[in-house]
Every structure is written in structure tokens, then in C-alpha cells.
Amino acid sequence: MKKYTVDPKTAVYSDSIEITETTDTNHADNINQAPKQLMANTAENHRRIVAIENRKVQAVYDTTDGGLNFIVKED
């Protein structure tokens, strides 16, 4: 076996995963397709979570509506 890593900068989330069927050959390229896509999904989810964690939120009192407004600032 060999190690497989995903470049988080190029990982793309996919809504569907290819699975091996009984008619597929038992070639590593077929068997590894699903785990590779799952790893890419995990890397993309991680990137999105970190982006959310790094957002800065600022509370501002708005006298026009008398409420407390929150502003999310993207870096």
C-alpha cells in the first residue's frame, strides 16, 4: 500500500461518490476512487470550517432601528 494525501488548496467537494460495483475490475484505480473523493471532501470541509472560525464579528448598535447588529468581516 502507499500513502495518499490531498492538497487542501485544490480539493473539491463532490455531492456524489463513485463506488465499486461487482462488474468493475479489482484494479486499484477503481477501488481507490471512493476513498480519494472522501479525502477531498474532508479536506474541503476542513478548509471551510477554518475559514468560518477565522471570521471576525463586530457588534454595532444601530440607533435607526434600536437594535444590535452584527457585521461579519472577511479577511
The residue ranges of every structural domain in the chain are 27-72
Q: Give the span between the Cα atoms of 29 and 36, in whole angstroms.
A: 10
> What is this structure's pTM?
0.62
How far is residue 33 CA from its own chain's centroid? 18
Cβ-Cβ contacts under 8 Å for 57 (sequence gap 6 or more): 70, 71, 72, 73
Nearest C-alpha neighbor of 11 from the set 40, 31, 35, 34: 40
pLDDT in tens, 23-69: 988 888 888 888 999 999 999 999 999 888 887 766 666 667 767 77
